[in-house]
């Protein structure tokens, strides 16, 4: 039975749209795993509705809500309404976790440590030696956390994006690092030294499960590891194609769980069971994919 001495936690997610979010399943499983009372709700707020954002954050200030996650398009929109940012959130320029400390509204980003913890499991499973050189596909909000994690872990990073100006803006954000950019087609780009490829785009996400961000006629770099932030379907076309070439590859399900667990521990001071959180998602992930 939940302990009567602990509060009933009111948690939730800000974003738009949110109809396909799995966050309630994963966080309610975390509550159960820690024997805590509470619930996790969705708060869909349209991109231009700044007053709704402010009103919702005031519910955190008042103690009515104990913690919020933030997803697109609000990872940057919430920042003007916060009192402080953690060093990670400030360096990335994006927030995915909000909480109250000492009457101050704090913005944090658990995507970075969540990604790094999971990608290290992937790299550690590799039998190959490698130089830390990574290729990041995409230059949107998710790419920010991934690139920051890799740069701080000592990786050389190249950004491949459809919109070169977006890649340049992202490269310019990390002024203390040397970042390369290249075309999304990867034409005239030397791949032989790439040890890690990370897809931060939504290409391949259900229901468009027969798509991949990787150029169809281009072989993967030999001995590279592939990390696809897309986690639904449970095996993406990118991951499937990498396996077909004998490479190690995984989806972003581990990152999803880890970033959620880290946020949950910030809010509740309780470490949730990653295994229970993962099990809570199994029925919601697409597993029947077309074989190309």
Q: Of these residues, 10, 50, 54, 75, which one is catalytic?
A: 75
**Separation CA 285–CA 49 (nearest Å):** 31
Domains 9-109 and 112-253 share a fold: yes
Tokens of 186: 């990867």
Contact 134, 158 (CB under 8 A): yes
Q: What percent of the chain has pLDDT over 90?
A: 75
Q: How far is CA 124 from CA 41, 118, 121, in A?
A: 36, 10, 5
50 is catalytic: no
Overall fold of domain 9-109? Rossmann fold (3.40.50)
Q: What is the pLDDT of residues 122-137, one digit of tens each?
A: 887 665 556 789 999 9
In 3D space, the residue among 190, 235, 178 whose CA is nearest the CA of residue 212 turns out to be: 235
Multiple choice CATH, 112-253, 3.20.20.210, 3.40.50.720, 3.30.70.20, 1.10.10.10: 3.40.50.720
In 3D space, the residue among 182, 235, 250, 244 whose CA is nearest the CA of residue 204 turns out to be: 235
Q: What is the pLDDT of residues 134-153, one digit of tens each?
A: 999 999 888 999 999 999 99
**Separation CA 40–CA 22 (nearest Å):** 11
Q: What is the pLDDT of residues 64-107, one digit of tens each?
A: 999 999 998 999 999 999 999 999 999 999 999 999 999 999 99
Tokens of 2: 């939940």
Domain positions in the chain: 9-109, 112-253
pLDDT at residue number 141: 80
pLDDT above 90: residue 291:
no
Gyration radius of the chain's alpha carbons: 19
pTM over 0.85: yes
Q: Please tell me what DSSP assigns to residue 220.
A: P
Q: What is the pLDDT of residues 210-263, one digit of tens each?
A: 999 999 989 999 889 999 999 989 999 999 999 999 999 999 999 999 999 999
Instruction: Decide which of 38 and 166 is more confident.
Output: 38
């Amino acid at each position: 039975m939940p302990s009567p001495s602990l509060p009933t936690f009111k948690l939730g997610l800000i974003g738009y749209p949110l109809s396909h979010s799995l966050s309630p399943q994963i966080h309610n499983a975390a509550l159960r795993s820690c024997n805590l009372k509470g619930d996790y709700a969705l708060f869909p707020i349209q991109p231009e509705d700044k007053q709704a954002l402010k009103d919702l954050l005031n519910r955190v200030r008042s103690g009515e809500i104990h913690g919020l996650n933030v997803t697109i398009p609000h990872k940057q929109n919430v920042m003007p309404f916060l009192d402080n940012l953690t060093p990670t959130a400030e360096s990335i320029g994006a927030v995915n976790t909000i909480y109250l400390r000492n009457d101050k509204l704090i913005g944090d980003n658990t995507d970075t440590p969540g990604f790094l913890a999971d990608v290290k499991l992937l790299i550690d499973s590799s039998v190959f030696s490698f130089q830390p050189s990574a290729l990041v596909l995409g230059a949107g909000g998710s790419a920010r956390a991934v690139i920051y994690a890799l740069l701080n872990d000592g990786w050389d990073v190249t950004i491949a994006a459809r919109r070169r100006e977006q890649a340049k803006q992202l490269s310019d954000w990390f002024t203390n690092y040397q970042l390369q950019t290249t075309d999304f087609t990867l034409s005239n780009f030397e791949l032989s030294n790439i040890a890690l490829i990370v897809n931060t785009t939504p290409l391949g996400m259900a229901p468009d499960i027969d798509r991949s961000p990787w150029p169809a006629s281009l072989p993967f770099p030999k001995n590279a590891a592939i990390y696809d932030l897309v986690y639904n379907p449970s095996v993406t076309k990118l991951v499937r194609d990498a396996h077909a070439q004998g490479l190690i590859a995984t989806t972003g399900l581990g990152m999803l769980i880890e970033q959620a667990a880290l946020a949950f521990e910030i809010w509740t001071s309780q470490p949730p069971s990653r295994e229970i959180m993962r099990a809570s998602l199994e029925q919601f992930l697409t597993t029947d994919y077309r074989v190309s």
